[in-house]
Amino acid sequence: MSENISVHVFRFDPETENEGKFVEYSVPYIEGMAVLDTVRYVEENIDPTLSIRWNCKAGKCGSCSTEINGKPSLMCKTKVDTLGKDITVAPMASFPLIKDLVTDISENWEIARKIPMFSPREGMEEPWKINPKDVERSKEFKRCIECFLCMDVCHVIREHYTPYFGPRYIVKAASWDMHPLDALDRSKFLNNEGGLGYCNITKCCTDVCPEHIKITDNAIIQEKERNVDRQYDPIAMLIKGRRKKEKVVR
């Protein structure tokens, strides 16, 4: 326990203030400490009104999502040692701000409700038997802890008002589509209602995923391709067209 480090934390209550600002706090350094430890120190010892959100402190619940030095990250998993001298912590920019580092992520539940749930094939005898190899593909997507960092980084969500469900929900749909006993194919739905065509595969979402889910390669591209492969009806053509246009625009 020797030196102190300084953390610049974004403070803003949109209800009572006109604009936010970064406030610098000096926090004692502890070996191996994470950014979460620094803001908790501020809250518990300097200013109890600092609003932060966390729960498990172990990278398992996805509560502590913020932007650390500009990168969407989990506070509990980001070690201070990896950040150099300057540390800034700001709230996720894609979601409405509640106060300080806490954002309102409730709009995600509306998207979640739209995606058709797991629907087991009919007439299967219980208990179900599943080949161990077949659970692997879906398992990757089931690692999602709903931190919403991928939604935060996605430029379609950040900059455009589109019906795009966002990467988290393509992952969710893929987890069911790749469930070995699921009867549905959600690819068409994702491309029509879900606005998947707006995604132009920048892979930023994959880069920030703390669970290392290959969101673009394994979920998004699969759902896009399956949609194209499966249907050659006018609706599919229409979507293809829109996607091309989107690409040209970018």
* Complex with another protein: residue 174 or 236, whichever CB lies closer: 174
202 makes contact, choosing from ligand SF4, another protein, ligand FES, none, with CB < 5 to 8 Å by partner type, with: ligand SF4
* Complex with ligand FES: residue 190 or 205, whichever CB lies closer: 205
* Complex with another protein: residue 9 or 52, whichever CB lies closer: 52
How many other CB atoms are found less than 10 A from the CB of residue 73? Answer: 22
Residue 127 and residue 121 in contact, taking contact as beta carbons nearer than 8 Å: no
23 binds another protein (CB under 8 A): no
Could you give the CA distance from residue 236 to residue 188 in angstroms, rounded to a whole number?
Answer: 8
Q: Identify whether 127 is preceded by a cis peptide bond (ω within 30 of 0).
A: yes
Could you give the CA distance from residue 118 to residue 137 in angstroms, rounded to a whole number?
Answer: 15
* Complex with ligand FES: residue 36 or 196, whichever CB lies closer: 36
The position carrying tokens 């172990």 is: 58
Largest CA distance in the chain: 68
186 binds another protein (CB under 8 A): no
Cα–Cα distance list, 122 to 99, 180, 181 (Å) = 48, 13, 9
Residue 168 and residue 107 in contact, taking contact as beta carbons nearer than 8 Å: no
Q: Name the minimum Å distance from CB 171 to ligand FES.
A: 17
* Complex with ligand FES: residue 171 or 173, whichever CB lies closer: 171
Which residue among 25, 59, 72, 164 contacts another protein (CB under 8 A)?
59
The one segment of 92-100, 154-162, 223-231, 233-241 that binds another protein by CB under 8 A: 92-100
**Of the candidates 31, 44, 34, which has an alpha carbon nearest to the alpha carbon of residue 2?**
31
Residue 121 and residue 129 in contact, taking contact as beta carbons nearer than 8 Å: no
Which residue among 8, 11, 60, 137 contacts ligand FES (CB under 6 A)?
60
Q: Which residues bind another protein (CB under 8 A)?
A: 13, 15-16, 30-34, 37, 43-45, 48-63, 77, 98-100, 102, 104-105, 109, 112-113, 117-118, 120, 126-132, 135, 138-139, 142-146, 176, 179
